[in-house]
Amino acid sequence: MITHKAFKIQQASYYSAVLNFLTPFYPTAGRDNNFDVLRLFAASLVIFSHSWSLIGASDDPIVIWSNQSLHGGGLGVWIFFFISGYLVSESFQMRGLVGFIESRFLRIYPAFLVSLIFGVVIGAFVTTLPIGTYIADEQTWSYVYRSLLTDIQFVLPGVFAKLPFANGINGSLWTIPIEIMMYAGVIIAGVCKLLNRPTLSLLIIASVMTAFVIEPNWMLLIPRVTQIYVLPAILCFAFGMIFYTNKAHIPLHGLYVLSIIGLIIYTRHAKPPGNIWVCFAIAYTTAWFAFHPWLRVKIPPRIGDISYGLYVYAFPIQQTIIYNYADAGPWAIFAISLPITALVAWISWHLIEKRALALKGRLVFLRGRKFS
């Protein structure tokens, strides 16, 4: 039985928790945040959503739970891009131009290359072509070298030809060229000293975002900019830059988070994707979870940063599961593919990605003084 004193203590604790939730706070510097676990969440969202879309199911549960407002895969990608916009801007400020280029290359390309080879190897076991023909086919090799040049190729000869998502080997890689183009935007902003000028950066970035929304075709240098999921990804990255440069001026408030999410769900305001309001909601909510002082979640070093690996390896693994278990439902595909992909991502992190990142500052052709 709870005593009156215990009840008072419990009540005080409850009120303290509510007060903490309703108290605004600001982003903190350094690595004291939840970005790592949020990236894991975003990557898992993409895998979750693909468990439906890759078998031709029209709506994943996120669509239903959000009152037709959000798609799970898109939401995961947009969270990724907001986090990237924030952290990549911070990286330029910390490392300067040369160090920034080096660190971005080492973070993106090693696992990207291995994921392409991984797809080719899987394709060799499921292609309808004789193995010699498959290996000799120009399309097999163009899948690797053209994708590395950011002209992403999504099919391999004879691979997964009869699946609901026919011929697709790794559809998730469409984001890589967009990400790299966004890095170019950060470089321009950094060299022009916009990243340490909050008001000016806000005005310029907001103007560019408005131009994107009014007429995406003005920005045709960005691959597939007119496709449905590309524009919101760009907007979320831009919001990440804005939140970084204005981190001392943007209060994060739990009540605002609830209000924003509730309004979007109630009005179905995410249709069509790309709406600035929805992208701001994703950005603000992600920032709130990332920096809330009571929500610190650390990933143990023995696990490592496997979020990128989850993203780049999941698609061919899920296609392989569907290939071998044609009657598997989406929940089963998700339950099987997530741990398998996590294992592959864990191996990739410890054998490839972490070792590549350890080369920062050691690449001779990128050595030189900082420009910021």
Nearest of 48, 97, 94, 96 to residue 70 by alpha carbon: 48
**Considering only 194-203, 269-278, 283-292, which range has the smallest mean pLDDT?**
269-278
- Residues 157-193 pLDDT 10s: 999 999 998 889 999 999 999 999 999 999 999 999 9
Predicted local confidence at residue 15, as pLDDT: 47
Q: How confident is the model at residue 228 (pLDDT cuts 50, 70, 90)?
A: low
Taking CA atoms, 369 is separated from 4, 101, 186, 215, 366, in Å, by: 66, 13, 18, 39, 10
Predicted local confidence at residue 220, as pLDDT: 55
Between 154 and 271, the more confident residue is 154
Nearest of 232, 265, 264, 268 to residue 79 by alpha carbon: 232
As a whole number of angstroms, the distance between CA 90 and CA 166 comes to: 40
- Residues 66-87 pLDDT 10s: 777 788 888 999 999 999 999 9
Residue 268: count of CB within 10 angstroms of its CB: 12
* Contact of 316 with 169, CB cutoff 8 Å: yes
Find the mean pLDDT for residues 292-306: 87
